[in-house]
Chains A and B, each alone.
Chain A
Amino acid sequence: MSRTAPDTVARAAPRPSPRATRRLPVGGLVAHAVLVVLAVVYVFPFLIQVANAFKTDGDATADPLDLLPLPGTTAAFTTLFTQLDFPRAAMNSAVVAVAVTLGRVFFDCLAGYALARLPFRGRGIVFAGFVAVIAVPPVVLLIPKFLVLNQLGIYDSYAGMIVPLMADAGGVFIMKSFFESVPRSVEEASYLDGAGTFRTFWSVVLPMARPAVVTITILSFQASWNELSHFVVSRSSPDLDTLTTLVATLTSGGAFGQANQYPLKLAAAALMTIPVAVLFFVFQRQVMAGTEGAVKE
């Protein structure tokens, strides 16, 4: 049975007429065409976004479908960098995303390793606790998180923006599963050489977990770069605006919120997409594999 043309068989078997077999390439072509149309539908919004960022307000409103705005204008970008504090928001986003990612990855690895490999009393309960935390819907925590930050006196500070996002039960879970797949013999050799627990973890086991570490690094960066709701409840001063909160204020009114100022908003949205887009295209395989693994039951 040929594997390359399963459709031939499917269509030919019930009514094996020559006409039916000839329908195959047409059917395949139709399916392919449908996919191409769908792909265009998925990609088109991003093309429109970039193209209209280089138009004047009037052109964007009058002719949004024109994908080649020649000669084009960079007025929107100039406004972003001169009249709005876009660079500062970008820096805040970067600082927060990098700090959150470093913290998450380090703590996830430590905890994941302990839960997978280090026998200690109460390990089962601790693990069950992490699993229970995954089940709490984040939006339910919005108001409560503000209450805690306020009580701790770190509302409206970098600490308040960064530290709570480091809590990441899902990452602990991923790392635990991965460490369980590392053969024990590796560690035993290291212990026999007289290395301590942390040393064994750090210089023997962790390097072997590279693929999983890359995956949670990318997922963490992406999540904290794109985060909005936590920064809505953990800060209020414009100095601490991240890209997400800044762009959200652009769309929700204020001096730049007028309905027709779309090039400005689209330019901001396009710029804020660049880092995650680059990361995605560089580490595409890991991102996709990670998404599959992270949510698999």
Chain B
Amino acid sequence: MSSDVATATRTPTSSRTARPSPHGRRQARAGWVFTAPALLLVLLFVGLPVVMAVWVSVSGWRGRGSPFASGVPFVGLDNYRTLLAGGGLPTQDLGTALRNNFWYVVLVVPLQTVVALLLAVAVNRRTLRGRGFFRTAFYFPSVTSSVAIVVVFLFLFSASGAVNQVIGVLGIDGPNWFADPRGVLHVLLGALGVGESPGALADHGFIGISWWEWLAGPSVAMSALILLAVFTTSGTFMLLFLAGLQNISAEVEEAALVDGASSFQRLRHVTVPMLRPVLFTVLTLGLVGTWQVFDQIYAGTQGGPAKTTITPAYLSYTTSFVDQRWGQGAAIAFILFAIIVVLTLVQRAVLRGDRT
């Protein structure tokens, strides 16, 4: 895609520079001068960091002095090997972080997409009174800082907090959310009588933790963070869907009406297919965003209880800044980068193939 853009924008350039008038030359110089500050900033704080981090991730730098100093050893792929196949605590932690974030993504992405879509369709109805109020109410959480929202959620989901008092009215005894490390799937399986891991699942595993651990689902604490994510992002994505809905012509809607489609049929067979490009954007942004959870963990749970809310982004931070294992920390960042890139490509392929 970027090469298309490059050629598209270069065409007028070459035709202009072919006859260098004084005006054209002055503009060409101005072009570089105008772009220089933004370009320099991006090179210095995006380009250079990536290059430095590549080196650190294959080095044994311990955080003292410059990573480019002569004493810093080159260790090849050792950091990656220790993390992915070492079998020790670093592997276990990475496996746990990936497991936690995996369940977070699996639940947040569909939930926030569906909620955002339904909100958009509801708010878009011409007959709705107070549309502006509803839009504002649903979008406001997206404006506030993640730290402030985390504080509110820690309070709402505390042991005797608002959420437990509300569901207490319905006779449900709420858990102590942010102190509860039990996996939601394990709890459900336990209710069905499967309290212990079948041998095969406990004996085999992937990246340092057993399959039974992978199947734990999000912990109760992580579930509260999942609700937080849906609460804060659905408003943003609602706006994207609204922009898309405005492009669906009234005639298409009316045709479906005349054909006698019910509201649900219209949503399923007219609205959603026509929103495909927006849906694609929302899913991509959702997928990329949810693999990067950091703020909520740093300000809220610090990875607890029992490491059930550590995420790769947070683990990369603590491994480097707290444990001073900078090589491993940088390696985790690149593993995360790879996951995001691969999943985005897979998702593209799936959604493209789905269309035919």
The chain A residues found within 8 Å of chain B, CB to CB, are 1, 3-7, 9-11, 13-14, 28, 31-32, 34-35, 38-39, 42-43, 45-46, 48-49, 52, 60-62, 64-65, 107-108, 110-111, 113-115, 118-121, 123-133, 136-148, 151, 163-164, 166-169, 172, 191, 196-198, 201, 222, 225-226, 228-229, 232-233, 243-244, 247-248, 250-252, 259, 262, 265-266, 268-270, 272-273, 276-277, 280, 284, 287-288, 291-292, 295-297
B89 within 8 A of A: no
Tell me which of A7, A35, A45, A108 contacts B134 (CB under 8 A). A35
B3 within 8 A of A: yes
- Which residues 311-335 in B have Cβ within 8 Å of A in the complex? 313, 316-317, 320-321, 326, 329-330, 333-334
B24 within 8 A of A: yes
Check A251–B151 contact: CB distance below 8 A: yes
Which among B34, B236, B285, B295 has the highest number of chain A CB atoms within 10 Å? B34
Which among A11, A144, A252 has the highest number of chain B CB atoms within 10 Å? A144
Tell me which of B144, B254, B317 contacts A6 (CB under 8 A). B254
Which among B135, B137, B151, B326 has the highest number of chain A CB atoms within 10 Å? B151
By a CB distance below 8 angstroms, the chain A residues around B235 are 42
Q: How far is the CB of A247 from chain B (nearest CB, A)?
A: 5
The tally of CB-CB contacts under 8 A between chains A and B is 351
- Bound-complex Cα distance A49 to B231 (A): 15
- Bound-complex Cα distance A43 to B140 (A): 8
- The 8 A CB mask of B18-46 against A (1 = contact, 0 = none) is 00000110111111101101110110111
By a CB distance below 8 angstroms, the chain A residues around B198 are none
By a CB distance below 8 angstroms, the chain A residues around B330 are 143-144
- Bound-complex Cα distance A198 to B149 (A): 43
Asked, given contacts A128-B5, A167-B42, whether A5 binds B49 with beta carbons under 8 Å apart, the answer is no
Q: Which of B122-130, B189-197, B205-213, B218-226 binds A?
A: B122-130
| B296 (CB) vs chain A CBs: closest residue | A228
Check B31–A108 contact: CB distance below 8 A: no
| A16 (CB) vs chain B CBs: closest residue | B260
Check B53–A166 contact: CB distance below 8 A: no
Asked, given contacts A107-B38, A143-B329, whether A120 binds B146 with beta carbons under 8 Å apart, the answer is no
- Bound-complex Cα distance A131 to B46 (A): 12
- Bound-complex Cα distance A35 to B49 (A): 46
B275 within 8 A of A: no
Asked, given contacts A64-B165, A228-B295, whether A110 binds B45 with beta carbons under 8 Å apart, the answer is no
Check B9–A39 contact: CB distance below 8 A: no
Check B10–A124 contact: CB distance below 8 A: yes
The contact sample of 17 A-B pairs, CB cut-off 8 A, is A14-B260, A42-B137, A45-B149, A45-B156, A48-B152, A115-B9, A127-B6, A141-B46, A141-B49, A147-B49, A147-B52, A164-B44, A197-B26, A228-B146, A291-B142, A291-B240, A296-B240
B243 within 8 A of A: yes
Q: Which 9 A-B pairs have the closest CB atoms?
A: A120-B31, A144-B49, A118-B31, A124-B6, A226-B145, A114-B34, A124-B10, A144-B53, A13-B260
Asked, given contacts A124-B5, A144-B52, whether A118 binds B292 with beta carbons under 8 Å apart, the answer is no
- Bound-complex Cα distance A8 to B38 (A): 55
B288 within 8 A of A: yes
- Bound-complex Cα distance A197 to B119 (A): 46
Check B165–A137 contact: CB distance below 8 A: no
Check B35–A111 contact: CB distance below 8 A: yes
Asked, given contacts A144-B52, A198-B30, whether A39 binds B253 with beta carbons under 8 Å apart, the answer is no
Q: How far is the CB of A3 from chain B (nearest CB, A)?
A: 7
Q: How far is the CB of B288 from chain A (nearest CB, A)?
A: 6
Check B147–A247 contact: CB distance below 8 A: yes
| A171 (CB) vs chain B CBs: closest residue | B38
Q: How far is the CB of A240 from chain B (nearest CB, A)?
A: 16
- Bound-complex Cα distance A48 to B148 (A): 13
By a CB distance below 8 angstroms, the chain A residues around B47 are 133
Check A144–B333 contact: CB distance below 8 A: yes
Check B231–A120 contact: CB distance below 8 A: no
By a CB distance below 8 angstroms, the chain A residues around B5 are 124, 127-128, 131
- Bound-complex Cα distance A29 to B9 (A): 52
Tell me which of B139, B158, B294 contacts A142 (CB under 8 A). B294
Check B299–A222 contact: CB distance below 8 A: no
Q: Which of B76-84, B105-113, B261-269 binds A?
A: B261-269
- Bound-complex Cα distance A276 to B128 (A): 28
B174 within 8 A of A: no
Check B31–A233 contact: CB distance below 8 A: no
Asked, given contacts A120-B27, A126-B39, whether A137 binds B145 with beta carbons under 8 Å apart, the answer is no
